């Protein structure tokens, strides 16, 4: 449980807290226009040309052996950059509907398909709906430990979790595949809540998408190199692993730092707007690092603002953060932010600490309890 102190808000304060944060969204939503469209189209171009350059360098290194090592390394890094930008700054934000207002068919949240093993349709269910609606609510948000890790002491301990420092490393390396099968909820088969036939029917779209990704990265492009198949194959593997690990680090830093909290299901009963903002705030963590950190994380360096305003173009989060941080300070609410080494260090400590039995601290109320009337 978080050790920071957050002032308990009265019903009136909670209402004005929510109203002020709603007003931040309204102000920035009214400003959407040409600059936002230019920004996302530049990202589209960056994804395309870093990908082309990365693959070209992998082929160059394969065919011109005198430059094999430097060309291979540069090719891997550029291809990984392309995949990171596509997944985080382009796909993740487009799938949230951040650019639906542009009317561009290629940037529509309901139809965009991304360069990763999982389907965007499953992501819309597990991420856009379940995770963003029930952020860090135990039993409703599947992102709490992803069914593999015990990150918080409120999660029930099993001997399996003793292996989680090792499991966490494997999960990071294969992160896109974990995301791909997340919505299948395979554990339901093991406890008799789903039949194998039902699982198979749900898995077919995922299997088709995963097969296309495997054919593209591990068969088609390496095959174009002919006898130099192996260096290109290994380059694609390396680029995907870099993307997987970076995505894992960013997402875990956004939700599992020392000050992040989880909540019981009862917390969302009759939840108002201000209450919802408080829960999002206390379940999210930001990263410092400036413009390049913002771009490389898909602006999830502003995880708090993303959870407040998931459908606002993410390039606006840095400006919104100034206002959000001020509002949180005035209402006595902790604004969780820190450097990447600091935040990820806390995540790693959580993974190691809660691999062993641990007890949760008493639940603290998000909002003030209503006073009983006297007389």
pLDDT attached to residue 373: 46
- 250-290 confidence digits (pLDDT tens): 999 999 999 999 999 998 988 999 999 999 999 999 999 99
The pLDDT confidence band at residue 68, using thresholds 50, 70 and 90, is confident
pLDDT attached to residue 65: 79
The pLDDT confidence band at residue 369, using thresholds 50, 70 and 90, is low
Half-sphere exposure of 191 (CA within 13 A, CB side): 5
Residue 180 contacts residue 117 (beta carbons within 8 Å): yes
Runs of H (alpha helix) within the chain: 11-29, 34-63, 68-84, 92-95, 120-123, 132-133, 164-173, 175-181, 187-190, 196-215, 221-223, 229-255, 273-282, 290-296, 303-308, 317-330, 340-353
Does 363 reside within a domain? no
To the nearest 10°, report the CA torsion of 203, 205, 207, 208: 160
Q: Is 341 exposed, middle or buried (0-12, 13-18, 19+ CB in 10 A)?
A: exposed
Distance CA 318, CA 306 (A): 10
pLDDT attached to residue 358: 92
Chain CA centroid to CA 126, Å: 11
pLDDT attached to residue 199: 75
The closest alpha carbon to 182, from 171, 173, 170, belongs to: 171
* DSSP category for residue 10: P
Strand partners for 338? 287
Is the pLDDT at 42 greater than 50? The verdict is yes
pLDDT attached to residue 258: 94
pLDDT attached to residue 104: 96
- Residue 19 backbone phi and psi in degrees, to 5: -65, -40
Is the pLDDT at 365 greater than 80? The verdict is no
The pLDDT confidence band at residue 371, using thresholds 50, 70 and 90, is low
- 185-226 confidence digits (pLDDT tens): 776 666 667 777 777 878 888 999 999 999 999 999 999 988
- 300-339 confidence digits (pLDDT tens): 999 999 999 999 999 999 999 999 999 999 999 999 999 9
Q: Write down the pTM of the prediction.
A: 0.93
pLDDT attached to residue 5: 79
Does 168 reside within a domain? yes
Q: How far apart are the first and last CA of the chain?
A: 38
Does 260 reside within a domain? yes
Average the pLDDT over each of 58-62, 74-78, 118-122, 351-355 and give the range with the smallest value.
58-62
Does 262 reside within a domain? yes
Is the pLDDT at 231 greater than 90? The verdict is yes
Distance CA 201, CA 216 (A): 24
The pLDDT confidence band at residue 351, using thresholds 50, 70 and 90, is very high
Per-residue b or e along 268-280, where b marks 16 or more CB atoms closer than 10 Å to that residue's CB: beeeeebbbbbbb
Residue 301 contacts residue 289 (beta carbons within 8 Å): yes
Q: How many domains does the chain have?
A: 1
Does 75 reside within a domain? no
Does 371 reside within a domain? no
Residue span of the structural domain in which 213 resides: 11-30+128-353
Name, in order, each residue with C-beta under 8 angstroms of 106's C-beta and a sequence gap of 6 or more.
44, 112
- Residue 367 backbone phi and psi in degrees, to 5: -130, 160
The closest alpha carbon to 304, from 329, 288, 292, 286, belongs to: 286
What DSSP assignment string belongs to 217-251?
IIIIHHHTTGGGHHHHHHHHHHHHHHHHHHHHHHH
CA angle 144, 86, 140 (to 5 degrees): 20
Q: Is 74 exposed, middle or buried (0-12, 13-18, 19+ CB in 10 A)?
A: middle
State percent of the chain over pLDDT 70. Answer: 94
Token couple for 149? 């890790």
The single residue listed with the structure tokens 């589209």 is 44
Does 187 reside within a domain? yes
The pLDDT confidence band at residue 184, using thresholds 50, 70 and 90, is confident
Does 239 reside within a domain? yes
Query: What are the Cα distances from residue 338, in Å, to 1, 5, 74, 253?
Result: 18, 17, 30, 10
- Whether the CA torsion 37, 273, 255, 346 is positive or negative: it is positive
The pLDDT confidence band at residue 245, using thresholds 50, 70 and 90, is very high
The per-residue pLDDT of the chain, averaged, comes to 92
Average the pLDDT over each of 56-65, 95-104, 138-147, 187-196 and give the range with the smallest value.
187-196
CA angle 72, 290, 81 (to 5 degrees): 20
- 134-176 confidence digits (pLDDT tens): 999 999 999 999 989 999 999 999 999 999 999 999 999 999 9
Is the pLDDT at 117 greater than 90? The verdict is yes
Distance CA 267, CA 269 (A): 6
Is the pLDDT at 372 greater than 80? The verdict is no
């Amino acid at each position: 449980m978080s050790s920071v102190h957050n002032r308990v808000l009265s019903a009136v304060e909670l209402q004005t807290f929510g109203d002020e944060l709603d007003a931040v969204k309204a102000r920035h939503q009214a400003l959407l226009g040409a600059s936002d469209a230019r920004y996302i189209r530049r990202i589209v171009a960056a994804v395309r040309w870093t990908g082309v350059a990365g693959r070209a360098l992998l082929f160059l290194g394969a065919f011109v052996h005198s430059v094999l090592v430097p060309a291979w390394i540069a090719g891997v890094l550029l291809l990984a950059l392309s995949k990171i930008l596509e997944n985080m700054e382009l796909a993740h934000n487009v799938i949230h509907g951040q650019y639906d207002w542009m009317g561009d068919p290629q940037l529509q949240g309901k139809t965009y398909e991304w360069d990763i093993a999982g389907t965007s349709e499953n992501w819309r269910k597990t991420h856009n709906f379940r995770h963003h609606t029930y952020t860090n609510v135990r039993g409703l948000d599947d992102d709490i430990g992803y069914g593999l890790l015990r990150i918080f002491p409120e999660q029930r301990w099993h001997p399996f979790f003793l292996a989680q420092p090792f499991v966490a490393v494997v999960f990071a390396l294969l992160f896109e595949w974990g995301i791909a099968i997340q919505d299948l909820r395979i554990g339901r088969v093991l406890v008799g809540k789903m039949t194998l036939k039902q699982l198979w029917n749900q898995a077919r779209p995922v299997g088709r998408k995963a097969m296309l990704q495997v054919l593209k990265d591990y068969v088609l492009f390496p095959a174009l190199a002919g006898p130099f198949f192996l260096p290109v194959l290994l380059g694609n593997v390396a680029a995907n692993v870099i993307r997987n690990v970076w995505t894992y680090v960013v997402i875990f830093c956004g939700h599992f730092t020392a000050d992040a909290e989880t909540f019981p299901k009862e917390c969302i009963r009759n939840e108002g707007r201000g209450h919802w903002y408080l829960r999002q705030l206390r379940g999210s963590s930001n990263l410092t690092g400036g413009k390049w950190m913002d771009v490389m994380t898909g602006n999830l360096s502003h995880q708090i603002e993303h959870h407040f305003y998931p459908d606002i173009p993410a390039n606006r989060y840095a400006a919104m953060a100034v206002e959000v941080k001020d509002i949180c300070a005035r209402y006595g609410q902790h604004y969780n932010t820190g450097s990447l080494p600091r935040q990820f260090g806390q995540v790693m400590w959580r993974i190691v600490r809660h691999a062993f039995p641990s007890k949760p601290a008493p639940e603290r109320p998000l909002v003030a309890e209503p006073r009983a009337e006297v007389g």
